[in-house]
């Protein structure tokens, strides 16, 4: 199966997600886009992308295109840990409006075909914080109509689309909507990175949810690595 994906760059959150994508690319035999590590969260990512666009990092191609990859949380009983999702729309929760943006349909369809129906087409909600409560996740799913949640999707889609970049988004579910997670929001720095000491404290305070988070993340990362290899294999 030849690699026909017209992608120049992959954006993936720094840390374990970025490393999983890098490992997946290293095992792929086809031509590979450049993977870039991005900060976590709306404001840090917005600042990063604005600087990158000023330096023409995403615009040095006649038809620039980007794939945003990583993990996400489920807002629906229909999506479980390890499920692969391709975004059709992103909804902005942070602004308090019902703003909704579409991913590039042609690029999304190419990815869907490439994955041979292993992925589900979903609507995603972008949150300005880590949603740790299972009850809140289900509530957000009900009021927004979204299937999954992340912290970067809408910001990436808004900024890059306005600059003429075609954007697709692929994320793997790492936590379901049935169980609480540790509250990790205080561990997130203003620059968009998880701080080791506050992260460790948050995990120790809630050991059972922390164990569940670790297991779900490890499973999600394994799938993320494999799907990256599959996308760019000849």
* Each residue's pLDDT tens digit, 55-75: 777 777 778 899 999 999 999
Instruction: Answer yes or no: are the C-beta atoms of 41 and 184 closer than 8 Å.
Output: no
Cβ contact 209:215 at 8 Å:
no
pLDDT at 1: 39
Fold of 9-181+220-231: Rossmann fold (3.40.50)
Q: What is the pLDDT of residue 90?
A: 95
Q: What's the confidence (pLDDT) of residue 94?
A: 65
Specify the 3-state DSSP secondary structure of 218. helix
- pLDDT confidence of residue 116: 85
Q: Within 13 Å, how many C-alpha atoms sit on residue 222's CB side?
A: 7
pLDDT at 217: 97
Residue ranges in the chain modelled with pLDDT below 70: 1-4, 94-98
Quick one: pLDDT at residue 2?
A: 43
Residue 99: the pLDDT is 86
DSSP-assigned letter for residue 79: -
Whether this prediction's pTM lies above 0.75 is answered by yes
Spans of all domains in the chain: 9-181+220-231
Classify the phi-psi angles of 57: left when phi > 0, otherwise alpha if psi is within -120 to 50, otherwise beta.
alpha
The CA-based angle 120-182-188, given to 5 degrees, is: 85
DSSP 181-209: ----GGGB-TTS-B-HHHHHHHHHHSHHH
């Amino acid at each position: 199966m030849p690699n026909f994906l017209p992608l120049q760059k992959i954006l993936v959150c720094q840390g374990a997600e970025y490393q999983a994508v890098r490992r997946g690319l290293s095992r792929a035999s086809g031509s590979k886009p450049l993977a870039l590590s991005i900060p976590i969260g709306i404001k840090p990512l917005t600042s990063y992308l604005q600087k990158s666009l000023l330096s023409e990092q995403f615009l040095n191609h006649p038809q620039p295109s980007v794939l945003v990859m990583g993990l996400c949380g489920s807002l629906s009983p229909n999506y479980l840990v390890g499920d692969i999702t391709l975004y059709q729309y992103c909804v902005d929760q942070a602004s308090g409006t019902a703003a909704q943006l579409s991913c590039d349909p042609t690029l999304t369809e190419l990815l869907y075909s490439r994955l041979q129906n292993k992925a589900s087409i979903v609507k995603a909600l972008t949150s300005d914080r880590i949603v740790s409560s299972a009850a809140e996740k289900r509530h957000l799913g009900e009021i927004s109509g979204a299937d999954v949640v992340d912290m970067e999707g809408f910001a990436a889609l808004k900024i890059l689309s306005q600059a003429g970049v075609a954007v697709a988004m692929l994320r793997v579910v790492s936590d379901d909507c049935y169980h609480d997670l540790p509250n990790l929001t205080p561990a997130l720095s203003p620059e968009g990175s998880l701080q080791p000491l506050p992260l460790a404290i948050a995990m120790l305070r809630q050991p059972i949810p922390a164990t569940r988070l670790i297991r779900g993340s490890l499973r999600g990362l394994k799938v993320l690595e494999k799907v990256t290899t599959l996308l760019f294999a000849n």
